[in-house]
Amino acid sequence: MALINKNAANIFATVVSNKRVGQYHQLIVNIGEQANFCKPGNFVAISVGGENSRMVLRRAFAISRVSTSTTVGGTMELIVAPHGQGSRWLCSAQEGAELDVIVPLGSGFGIPTEPVHVVLVGGGYGSAPLFGLAEVLNARGCRVDMLLGASTASKIYAPMEGKRAVNSLRIYTEDGSMGQAGRVTDPISEMISQSDIAVIYSCGPMAMLSAIDSLTRGTDVVHQCAVEESMACGIGICMTCVLPVATEDGSIKMLRSCIDGPVMDGSHVQWDKVGKAL
């Protein structure tokens, strides 16, 4: 049975900066010592709306990057799309505001021990945690190719500094407003057949993760994906964020994406059963 991230702690963290980046907000939050425990793939759960909020649940956000050596101490970066009440509140946070954060939560991406060839696939702002991951993989000596996709240019998240850690970056938009017209999954089959890709890391909408799973099935490529399912607690007690996953004994169980995930082996997730009763 998977356990809650043993480093998870509930802290008050100060917003260091909040910048608008295209359709998203980049928040840098001072999380002090907790930054030392954050791994690519981990997420945080943040209280929203202030003290008398009628929003009783925390909001979960992937940590896109951490820095342990800034002048203010350890910080984490979050990329937030202001599309709901809670995320809009967070995007309006002023520099110096205090946030109630549980950090870090969930599983992290597995990092290969050998300097293998990997592909990182991001959909929309799901690409955010891939840049921190790219830095770790790059430091491990991996060849890192990145594919980013979205419906339109303004929904692509690809910061300049993030590109340093990747060997190549290709962008796809469905309306052709940036990069190539098409879907981010379009080139994957050819890439798998023409090179020695060991791992595909993915983060984005469930439909994209599921599509990558079909493309990697029957190949030797390992698919590590960060799943998303709506969570009430983020700490494993509410049982709402479950996904059907094949377990070691061969049975299919509803596993919590907050505890057994968000990073899961894509080949274990029963994509065709998501949203259905087992």
Q: Which residues bind other proteins (CB under 8 A)?
A: 1, 3-4, 6, 8, 10, 47, 54-58, 100, 102, 229-233, 235-244, 252-254, 259, 274-278
Q: 111 or 243: whose CB is closer to other proteins?
A: 243
Question: What gap in Å lies between CA 106 and CA 108, rounded to an integer?
Answer: 7
Nearest distance from C-beta of residue 5 to other proteins, angstroms: 8
Contact 199, 111 (CB under 8 A): no
Nearest distance from C-beta of residue 108 to other proteins, angstroms: 17
Nearest distance from C-beta of residue 196 to other proteins, angstroms: 36
Q: 2 or 139: whose CB is closer to other proteins?
A: 2
Q: 47 or 173: whose CB is closer to other proteins?
A: 47
Question: What gap in Å lies between CA 40 and CA 133, rounded to an integer?
Answer: 5
Cβ atoms < 10 Å from Cβ of 274: 17
Nearest distance from C-beta of residue 167 to other proteins, angstroms: 37
Q: What sign does the dihedral 244-245-248-251 (CA atoms) show?
A: positive
Contact 223, 266 (CB under 8 A): yes
Question: What gap in Å lies between CA 216 and CA 60, rounded to an integer?
Answer: 28
Cβ-proximal residues to 84 (8 Å cutoff; 6+ apart), any chain:
59
Q: 56 or 160: whose CB is closer to other proteins?
A: 56
Q: 49 or 110: whose CB is closer to other proteins?
A: 49
Contact 137, 111 (CB under 8 A): yes
Nearest distance from C-beta of residue 52 to other proteins, angstroms: 10
